[in-house]
Amino acid sequence: MNRTVIVGAGTAGVHAAMELRHRGYAGGVLLVGEENHEPYDRPPLSKEFLKPVAEPDTLRLLPAQIARDRGIDLRLGLLVTDIRATAQEVVLSDGSIVGYDHLVLATGARGRPLTVPGADLPGVWGLRRLEEAEALRKALDGADDVLIVGGGFIGLEVAAAVRARGTRVTVVEFLPRVMARVLSPQMARYFTQAHRHRGVEILIGTGVTAVIAGPLGTASAVVLSDGRTIPADVVVVGIGVQPVTELAERAGLHTTDGIVVDGRLRTSDPRIYAVGDCARFDCVVSGRDLRLESIQNAVDQARFVAGQIAAGHRPQADGDAQGSSYAALPWFWSEQYDMKLQIAGVASAEAESVVRGDSASGSFSVCRFQGERLVAVESVNRAKDHLAARKLLTADPARLRRVTRESVANGETALRALLDV
Ligand SMILES: Cc1cc2nc3c(=O)[nH]c(=O)nc-3n(C[C@H](O)[C@H](O)[C@H](O)COP(=O)(O)OP(=O)(O)OC[C@H]3O[C@@H](n4cnc5c(N)ncnc54)[C@H](O)[C@@H]3O)c2cc1C
């Protein structure tokens, strides 16, 4: 029988399985997930889930009943431990061996560990999985001083959730600004001020060198690289993620900070695809080799691969001209306090910025230009700009070239209108 095995029941794995059925794929679909919970969404874990009275139901991604109804064989609490590529089989942690025609790796990422003395003390928390979020939420209930290591999206979202509880919070960021990997300096400055205005202490350009235990043997303070000691009974680590690639490596697939895939998201073995946080691909839209950590990327890549499989594309190595390449526009969002940040496109650090609208109004955008080309738009509470940007950035190159710094700078002109120029 024709069978697709999907490894990892996170966003990418679930969407691959659902899309296969949506497209009428008649073969078997086995979805194997290491975590014991029914598949859930991670974004709320650093946002509404940290509120004192969060609704766990808001997390559900694929209830077991729906999997059954769709003919998806969902097996939870199990690892795929090995791939026997030549035999087209996977080995599961319960000892069973399952054959496949197509294999989709959706193994995701894990939080990068903090590797300083004291990082393993009780009171130091990561935030990737549901049980970590549950434990952190409980710890926050009794916390006096929360310290967040890392001023990225997750760190700042947690800071906002902690302030909403009225608890003292400090964010320590090693780089010269927050969210430095992805945001323009202008937008980073705006978010820094917004957090400071709400009482968050943000320390820039300094790192954590140790976590110190108090009399009970739990975290009580951290030492910074500039010599300061800051009290902290809850320490949250948000310093990025590492792709989960061990299974692919053992199978001899090509990996470099991610499982390397081609334009059709096939690994170095064309019967095996990789999607989501674990996959490194050539992003057609940005012209860069990327690994993205976002829901959009996980969903769009999963759907693309399911489409390939359902369409019956024969897995062949070179010279397979069937179908087109994956070319979705990357976009992302974050929520902090009453600010909804949305980013369309990808900009490199040196991209120039043009501000649209008045940041003092709390609703504005920053348009990023690489040379003369618009490559990304960051918007706060300006959803219309974001939606228009997603259209603009995927418009044909001739139209996109007509979008200039001058044309976007006028905040009174709808970005959408530039599509019709
Ligand atoms: C707290 C938090 C907040 C976030 N907020 C946002 C946001 O606001 N917006 C946004 O766009 N993105 C956000 N993200 C990122 C987004 O959640 C990820 O990009 C997305 O979950 C990636 O999906 P994935 O399926 O590729 O990987 P994952 O969600 O990591 O799922 C992979 C799954 O595979 C399992 N697995 C790994 N190896 C095996 C194996 N060998 N056998 C079986 N199972 C295996 C893992 O246990 C895991 O359950 C957030 C992430 C976190 C942690």
How far is Cα 297 from Cα 275, in angstroms, rounded to an integer?
A: 8
Among 331, 330, 329, 335, residue whose Cα is nearest residue 380: 335
Q: For the segment 108-139, what is each residue's pLDDT rounded down to a tens digit?
A: 999 999 999 999 999 999 999 999 999 999 99
For residue 130, the CA-to-ligand 1 centroid distance in Å is: 11
Three-state secondary-structure class, residue 397: helix
For residue 10, the CA-to-ligand 1 centroid distance in Å is: 5
CATH superfamily label, 3-110+242-310: FAD/NAD(P)-binding domain (3.50.50.60)
> So what's the pLDDT on residue 321?
43
For residue 12, give the ligand 1 atom closest to its CA: 25
| Ligand 1 atom 29, closest CA | 10
For residue 319, the CA-to-ligand 1 centroid distance in Å is: 33
Would you say the CATH fold of 113-237 matches that of 3-110+242-310?
Answer: yes
For residue 72, the CA-to-ligand 1 centroid distance in Å is: 20
Which tokens hold the place of 310?
A: 């359902």
Q: 259 has which bridge partners?
A: 255, 279
For residue 362, the CA-to-ligand 1 centroid distance in Å is: 31
Among 90, 67, 57, 77, residue whose Cα is nearest residue 15: 67
Cβ neighbour number for residue 412 with a 10 Å cutoff? 6
For residue 175, the CA-to-ligand 1 centroid distance in Å is: 25
Q: 46-73: buried (b, 16+ CB within 10 Å) or exposed (e) per residue? A: bbbbbeeebeeeebebbeeebbeeeebb
For residue 333, give the ligand 1 atom closest to its CA: 9
CB 239 within 8 A of CB 149: yes
For residue 246, give the ligand 1 atom closest to its CA: 41
Instruction: Give whole-number Cα distances, 368 to 183, 284, 341, 373, 374, in Å.
Output: 10, 18, 15, 8, 6
Residue ranges lining ligand 1, Cβ < 6 Å: 7-13, 32-35, 42-43, 45-46, 79-80, 106-109, 127-128, 154, 244, 247, 276-277, 293-296, 298, 332-334
For residue 292, give the ligand 1 atom closest to its CA: 19
Counted residue by residue, the chain has a size of 421
pTM for the whole structure: 0.96
pLDDT-flagged residues of the chain (< 70): 1, 54-57, 313-323, 421
CB 309 within 8 A of CB 23: no
Note the CATH number of domain 338-420: 3.30.390.30
For residue 275, give the ligand 1 atom closest to its CA: 26
389 burial type by CB count under 10 A (0-12 exposed, 13-18 middle, 19+ buried): buried
> So what's the pLDDT on residue 322?
53
Among 339, 324, 132, residue whose Cα is nearest residue 238: 132
| Ligand 1 atom 7, closest CA | 43
Among 390, 401, 380, residue whose Cα is nearest residue 184: 380
How far is Cα 57 from Cα 63, in angstroms, rounded to an integer?
A: 10
Q: What is the dihedral of CA 213, 161, 12, 392, to 10 degrees?
A: -130
Class for the domain spanning 113-237: alpha beta
| Ligand 1 atom 14, closest CA | 43
Please state the domain extents for the chain.
3-110+242-310, 113-237, 338-420
For residue 46, the CA-to-ligand 1 centroid distance in Å is: 13
> So what's the pLDDT on residue 13?
98
For residue 409, the CA-to-ligand 1 centroid distance in Å is: 36
Q: For the segment 347-363, what is each residue's pLDDT rounded down to a tens digit?
A: 988 899 999 999 999 99
For residue 128, give the ligand 1 atom closest to its CA: 53
Among 107, 154, 278, residue to substitute to test ligand 1 (most atoms within 8 Å of Cβ) = 107
Q: What is the DSSP letter of 191?
A: H
